Structure 1
Amino acid sequence: MPDLMYQASAPVFTHQLKNLSSILKLAAKDAKARGIAPEVILNARLAPDMLPLLRQVQIATDHAKGCCARLAGLESPVFADDEASFAELESRIKKTLAFIRGIKSAHYEGSESREITLKLPFGVLTFSGQDYLNGWVLPNFYFHYTTAYAILRNNGFAVGKREFLGSVPGMGVNAAAAKALGLKAPAKSKAPAKKKAPAQKKASRKAKAS
């Protein structure tokens, strides 16, 4: 189970935060090309009563680092939440990834049954580690990651499901699938040399001897 808890958390957050980083870089480049001030996009909302792009990214990273810390029985790093540019969001994502990668899988041992307590502005929540990961963190993380993506898509940025999913770990693709998904084409494997039949070997030896 400890390995399952690790595999269901740290690698998932790592992969998706790397995808989010790539999406934000594309958006920053596109905004510059279109003459859109970065702060306009960073403060854009999907709906009037939803948080802006900046906060969506901040909260997504908070869920990722907070989850891994709590499951491993460690203190989560606290960020100032004062990012105001694409570059600063990129720095936040990098710091989050560095923290997650620094936790060894062995730290997750027993985390499925560890009691997790969250003290939130509206009250206190308690879970087992497994319920916390599956029922609280993963849905919340994907909510904010997806909303960040949707804000950019809603503002006309050229990002799609391909960028959202990225290169899925462990997924094999043939050349056609790689092209469709915008991934690196798989390397062509060399065909093994055909073994000569005994009769062919004899004929070959005779030809060399003559």
Structure 2
Amino acid sequence: MTISLYDAVIPTQLQIIAAVRELVDEAKAHCQEKGMAPDEIIGARLIEDMQPFSYQVKCCREHSLGAIEAVREGVFTPSLAAPPTDWAGLYEKLDEAKAGLEAVTEAEMEGFIGQHMEFRFKDAVMPFTAENFLLSFAQPNFYFHATTAYDLLRENGLRIGKRDFLGMPRMKKI
């Protein structure tokens, strides 16, 4: 059995977007429980030269729905907009991603196959086919930022585990 480009990308991104949204719920509750200012988590970094939690969440949207939007246009340029600074902004990014990904059809995704796609940033241009952009560039970036968001929460004392990162897997119906 072969799987479609849609099956290789969209369902798992929806799974992880939902899981990251639940991680934001956990982070918000943690701040309230511990009497922490929201920025202690929203602005948290693993190391000084890495981007904060809010940026990681923003990039989950950028490398999921943003990647699909870019394929539609034929070019992906990273957003230089500042990440959200509050819980509402984080939820908005994740809710946008969920709604946008849910609207993508299998037929649209299959129509992307073979289409020219470019990554552009400053003087760098990387040519791709749409499917190679989604599978070898956007998807690894998506997982990197979701994982980094999870790691930042662990580093800041949240009692979360692998199941929290994975969310709800798509199990066989019996």
TM category (shorter chain) comes to: 0.7 to 0.9
Structure 2: state its 5+ residue gaps.
Answer: none
Matched positions, count? 170
Q: State the alpha-carbon separation in 2 of the partners of residues 65 and 115 from structure 1.
A: 18
* Same amino acid, percent of matched pairs: 28
| Residue 18, structure 1, aligned to residue 18, structure 2 | yes
Correspondence for 2:128: 127
Secondary structure class of the residue paired with 1:117: strand
Q: State the alpha-carbon separation in 1 of the partners of residues 171 and 121 from structure 2.
A: 37
Amino acid at match of 1:67: A
Counting only pairs closer than 5 Å after superposition, residues 88-99 of structure 1 correspond to structure 2 as 88-99=89-100
Aligned Cα RMSD in Å?
2.4
Instruction: Indicate the structure whose relative CO is greater, using CA pairs within 8 Å and at least 6 residues apart.
Output: 2
Secondary structure class of the residue paired with 2:64: helix
| Residue 169, structure 1, aligned to residue 170, structure 2 | yes
Deviation, 1:46, is 0.8
Secondary structure class of the residue paired with 1:110: helix
- Residue 171 to residue 20, structure 1, CA distance change in 2 (3 Å): farther
Correspondence for 1:109: 110
- After superposition, give the CA deviation of every residue in 1:149-186 in whole Å (9 maximum; x if it has no partner): 0001001111110100112112579xxxxxxxxxxxxx
Structure 1: state its 5+ residue gaps.
Answer: 174-210
Correspondence for 1:37: 37
Amino acid at match of 1:109: E
Amino acid at match of 1:110: G
Per the normalisation by structure 2, the TM-score is 0.88
Correspondence for 1:151: 152
Per the normalisation by structure 1, the TM-score is 0.73
Q: State the alpha-carbon separation in 1 of the partners of residues 40 and 172 from structure 2.
A: 37
Q: State the alpha-carbon separation in 1 of the partners of residues 173 and 49 from structure 2.
A: 41
Correspondence for 2:143: 142
